[in-house]
Structure 1
Amino acid sequence: MNKTEAPSTTIVLPFKEDITLTEMMRLRVSSLQRSGQKRQDGERLLLPHEAVYRLDFHNQQLTFSRWYFSLSGHGRVTITGICQLWTPDLTNLMTRQLMEPIGTIWRNAGDPEDSPLKYLEADMQEFGERIAELAKVRKVMYFLFAFKDGAEAANLSCSVEFTPEK
């Protein structure tokens, strides 16, 4: 008898901008600027070219498979994982809660539009594995996306593929 295994299903999770949380973090910056106060020791303020994105895990037993990203035009996008759980009062983001490694994808200004994106493969692999590890204890995970050198959020599509563990 010939046994064939059904192909394993994969789960592709798109990064979604958390507009509300991004806006709350921008309000924190403008509030500090208006009042002339300084940030708390160790606090990480959102920069103008950054936004908060999230992944929602419906299945928490996952193994990292691969990244999917596309960027029209040129520029650099860095993705930093945040290992803090946001509380309802939206506690301030602290630098100690930013994960390493970060993911970086880019296309140089002189590269043709259809050239593949560049990225540091080992860092992206480790980053994906760290996300899968944290998914085991989280239903939601947050990320800082920084858009530099001409990259814009509207030109980026980014998701990560996982295989459910059995």
Structure 2
Amino acid sequence: MSLKVAFRLDTQLTEMMRLRVQSLQQRGQKRQEGERLLQPNEAVYRLDFAHQSLSFSHWSVRLTQPGHLTITGTSQLWTPDLTHLMTRQLLEPTGVFWRGQGGPNTPVQSYEADAHEFGERIAELAKVRKVMYFLFAFAEGCSPETVDCSITFTVDS
């Protein structure tokens, strides 16, 4: 059985991370050693896993206009008190997807080996997690409104 899981924008967590940046700027403070602050072109997305025993199948990334999307997984388990995201909690490799100029039928490109390894890593983490968080970085005309992204797994029996 295959299972398609859509990445969902976590507006509350994205806003909390933006407030952290704003708070540091207003007080003239620097980030903590190793802390990873949210950039203006980034947002936090999440995957919710209904099943824990999964094998990666494929990515489904749709960019409605030319642009560049980078997806970085985090090993962070977010808590309501918002423990800060630290650089060491970012996973490698990242998923990099882009669509160049051309008509609406121009296919989305990716670094396939990295995207495949990233998908397998997500499936591994799903074995011990119900939720996983990601940083989506939008560039070159890409934005949350122009991206539709999901990942398909095979449910292991």
- TM-score class normalised by the smaller sequence: over 0.9
Distance across 2 between alignment mates of 1:146 and 1:35: 26
Distance across 2 between alignment mates of 1:113 and 1:39: 41
RMSD of the TM alignment (CA)?
0.7
Query: Residue 6 of structure 1 aligns with which residue?
Result: none
Describe how 1:119-158 pairs up with structure 2 within 5 A.
119-158=110-149
- Say whether residues 1:46 and 2:42 are aligned partners: no
- CA-to-aligned-CA distance 1:36-64 (integer Å, 9 cap, x gap): 00000000000000000000011000011
Q: CA deviation at 1:112?
A: 2.7
Distance across 2 between alignment mates of 1:12 and 1:113: 23
Query: Residue 165 of structure 1 aligns with which residue?
Result: 156
Query: Residue 69 of structure 1 aligns with which residue?
Result: 61
Once superposed, which parts of structure 1, at least 4 consecutive aligned residues long, lie more than 2 Å away?
110-113
Taking structure 1 as the reference length, the TM-score comes to 0.93
How many matched pairs?
Answer: 157
Q: CA deviation at 1:139?
A: 0.5
SS at match of 2:121: helix
SS at match of 2:148: strand
Distance across 2 between alignment mates of 1:102 and 1:133: 15
Partner letter of residue 164 of structure 1? V
SS at match of 1:66: strand
- Say whether residues 1:30 and 2:13 are aligned partners: no
SS at match of 1:90: coil
- Say whether residues 1:87 and 2:76 are aligned partners: no
- CA-to-aligned-CA distance 1:115-146 (integer Å, 9 cap, x gap): 10110110110000000000001000000000
Q: CA deviation at 1:81?
A: 0.2
Q: CA deviation at 1:93?
A: 0.3
Partner letter of residue 52 of structure 2? Q
Whose radius of gyration is greater, 1 or 2? Answer: 1
Where structure 2 has 5 or more consecutive residues not aligned to the other structure, the ranges are none
Sequence identity percentage: 60
Where structure 1 has 5 or more consecutive residues not aligned to the other structure, the ranges are 1-8
Taking structure 2 as the reference length, the TM-score comes to 0.98
